[in-house]
Amino acid sequence: MTIRRVKIILNPHAGMDSAKSKADALRPLAQELGGADWVETTQPRHAVELARQAAGEGYDLIIAAGGDGTAHEVLNGILQVPAEQRPCMAILPVGSGNDFSHMTGIPGQPEAALRQIYANPAGTIDLGVLSLEDGRKEYFGSALGIGFDSIVTIRAKRLKFIHGYLMYLTAVFQAILLDHDSPHMQISTDREDWEETVVMLVVMNGRREGGGFFVTPQALPDDGLFDYAQIRHVSRLMMLRILPEVMKGTHTTLKDVRMGQCRKLDLRADKPLVLHADGEILAGFDSTIRQLSVELIPQGLKIIRGTS
């Protein structure tokens, strides 16, 4: 793509407050590569508004500088403007997990990532749109988590002195010990229906979440399909047995795991659901959400893709 105007939306608190220093070190490189207008977020959901404004102001490329949550907010801001006005998006990975940018093939090293963002042509990925019973609608690019992995995300955000893969791993053990109450779900997709007590259900566009857990190792972000992984309610000991396999992506044939693909999913549960989308908590421990639906939008987002 020919880049004319670039807006970089930086979450300075991403990556355990390390994002600002990493991004500041890249400002001279951004200027060398073609220039950019920088802006920093100051509160949760601020990147949504900043991205919407930038799209309305005619920027050609909006770069989310942060982690998965920053990318999620920028994505939702871009989607608020009419399709013909939407700029291209890119992700500069200076956060903790960076699963969203990994899905797009962008290198994890920030300088290499920025060089590819300015050099590579625009591509597309599929999008998910989540509709909740309270009327909220949220887009996601990489992952929608229901249950255990969302609880892990909440607990990971509370860990202040570790980050990356170790942060998520610590949160996993906390969740196994402290949060083991699974809802009973009625699930319907465009391919099959089932009913089960479920500790975790993840609807994925990418292969990994949680900083490197390969939950759906065969997923592709542009094949017109979600991949999902479900773990039915098992003992804490069995969760400890399953999760190392999830880290490696070798869990797919275990008897307590259900894998599949779909374009649409509807869910009803007997207890409130804890939810995240791209690492952003949409319903926490005080959730009242028991019903939701998810639908895929093929090739719904124009984004810079990497070659890593």
Task: Read off the pLDDT of residues 218-238 as tens digits, 9 standing for 90 and up.
Answer: 999 999 999 999 999 999 999
Per-residue pLDDT at 277: 96
pLDDT tens digits, 84-139:
999 999 999 999 889 999 999 999 999 999 999 999 999 999 999 999 999 999 99
Q: What is the pTM of this model?
A: 0.93
pLDDT surpassing 70 at residue 1: no
Average the pLDDT over 195-205 and give the result.
97
Which helix (H) or strand (E) segment is 68 a member of?
helix 68-78
Which residue is listed with tokens 């795991």?
257
| Rounded mean pLDDT, 28-33 | 96
Residue 222's CB is within 10 A of a number of other CB atoms, namely: 15
Tell me the percentage of the chain whose pLDDT exceeds 90: 84
Q: Quick check: 291 and 271 in contact, CB under 8 A?
A: no
DSSP letter at 186 equals E
Amino acid at 215: V
Residue 97: half-sphere exposure toward Cβ, Cα within 13 Å: 27
pLDDT band for 162, please (50, 70, 90 cuts): confident
Q: How many CB atoms lie within 10 A of CB 240?
A: 13
Which tens digits make up the pLDDT trace of 241-276? 998 999 999 999 999 999 999 999 999 999 999 999
**pLDDT of 179:** 85
Nearby residues of 154 by Cβ (< 8 Å), 6 or more positions away: 274, 281, 284, 285
Q: Give the confidence band of 6 by pLDDT, cuts at 50, 70, 90.
A: very high
pLDDT at position 201: 98
